[in-house]
Amino acid sequence: MRSRALHASHRARPWHALTCAILAAAVLAACSDADVGSPLETVDPAAVPVTYEFVADTVADGDPLRATTEVTTAVAFAGDLWASTSQWMAPRPVGGAILRRGARDAGWTSVLQTTQLRVMALEAFTVPSNGDEAEVLLAQAQESGAGSELRWSVAPDRTLASRFALPDAGAIARSFGAHSTGDGDVTFFAGVQPTGVLAGAWDADARTIHWSPTPELVTPGAGLDQKVTGFTSCGGAAWVTVRGTLYRRRTDGGTDATTGGPWQPVWTVPVANPDSSGLRGVSCVRHDGAPAILLGVEGSGELMRFDAIDRLGPVVSGTPLEPLLELDTRDLIGRTLRAWGHDVPASGPGAVGYTIPAYNEFTDVGERVVLAGVEWSYALARCPATRRCQPQRTFDAQACVLRRAGDSGIPDWQLRCLATPLDSPSPVPDPVTPGAAIVAVRAMQIAPWSPDELWLVGYDANFVPSIGTGWSARLPLASLRR
């Protein structure tokens, strides 16, 4: 049901990091549209050539986008690529933005400049509507002099002019979802901090959304305890993760005794680290011919799968769902880096530490392959000698994805890393500059103008001062499918 995309701004101009990072002679041919230079002294033989573009470097001096430190989402809508940005940890932040790009070489256009530091929620959905389909783009924004709002457009409109004022003037939406029932009714969801989960009914005649100001789910606590990290529609029901708990929306219209609303808690993971967001990347995948839930645990890095989702009744029984451990992400990262010749111990200082195993949801790129961005730090702030790390918090500077191939039995999991820009300095400077550290793939989207081109966006500031580090990149989709 869901699609994604990205955007930057106009007047793109060349820069050394706007180049395909070359690793070895064997992969030079894959970078036909980029400058070629000498490989880094230490390279990973499996790294994927990629063409980078830094949002701050594509705009004129004085443009608010010059302060972009992160590109946080990417979706496809109405034939364009869209993205949202963040200016977290920028020296003089103005606010995040929503961007649009109409073609590979068109450059980014700013659709909406906000006053909030980070724009984290931007999603596109295709929903049934009066016997046809409608494309809907959802965003959250706070403009100067206004409170926080949900904004949306229905294709072909691209203005995000439809508005719903959030009950809490300073609230921030982290995620959006949508679920369609068998009779054609569609409900949209917004995960809003601190308000909770809001629901909106799709009006097929008026081609708009009617949002209710009364939340369907309110979680106790404050701060991260209220962080709604993702939605998915799977096995005939809507699902949401709020910090460390997975919830399922009852399909009989009833009320759960523990939440006072339609959402029922079905599984909780202990969140030992006070800075952990808990569950990440909740997605619906196919496994052994049936829908299954796949999600990651931030910090410890496990990827968990819940099977038999389509056989659940309207109400999940009193026994919580039992997950299967599908992947120990930290173990895979460590083993892969050692196989590439890096001195990364299995434990102790310099071992793979705090890990975010999935940003947003897992992206289906066809041929039974799904991908998710991943990032990790090294234990006890010890960066291995042959790795480059973000300063202060020692998150690995290279951007990588987890690749899951197969939909039956035991899937094949691999770590695939993007090549580093040729002119990346070592060590990484503090504050971090464009191209010095790529750090994280936050989202990805197949280009709306080419089924063979994949766009990725990212960077995570991780509380480290950063200047113009938000990036987008493109690569041939075949390089990650195989």
- If the chain, 482 residues long, is cut into consecutive pieces of 10 residues, what is the mean pLDDT of each piece? 29 31 29 29 68 95 96 98 98 97 94 95 95 96 90 97 92 96 90 96 96 94 90 97 96 93 94 85 96 97 95 82 95 96 96 95 95 97 95 96 95 96 92 97 98 98 98 96 88
pLDDT of residue 46: 65
Residue 333 · residue 401 · CB < 8 Å: no
- Which residues, in sequence order, are bridge partners of residue 374? 400
Q: What is the pLDDT of residue 184?
A: 79
pLDDT at 321: 84
pLDDT at 275: 81
Kindly report the CATH number assigned to the domain that includes residue 366. Answer: 2.130.10.10
Structure tokens at 256: 């759960």
Q: What's residue 314's pLDDT?
A: 92
pLDDT for residue 21: 36
Nearest-angstrom CA–CA distance, 168 and 162 = 18
By C-alpha distance, which of 147, 162, 106, 161 is closest to 447? 106
3-state helix, strand, coil split of the chain in percent (to 5) is 10, 40, 50
Q: How many domains, in total, are found in the chain?
A: 1
Instruction: Give the per-residue pLDDT at 182.
Output: 75
Domain residues for the domain of 272 are: 2-481
pTM of the model: 0.90
Picking from 156, 32, 33, the residue whose alpha carbon sits closest to that of residue 102 is: 156
**Given CA atoms 252, 257, 262, 263 in this order, what sign does their dihedral have?**
negative
Cα–Cα distance measured from residue 8 to residue 298, given in angstroms and rounded to the nearest whole number: 28
- Predicted pLDDT at 183: 79
Predicted pLDDT at 220: 83
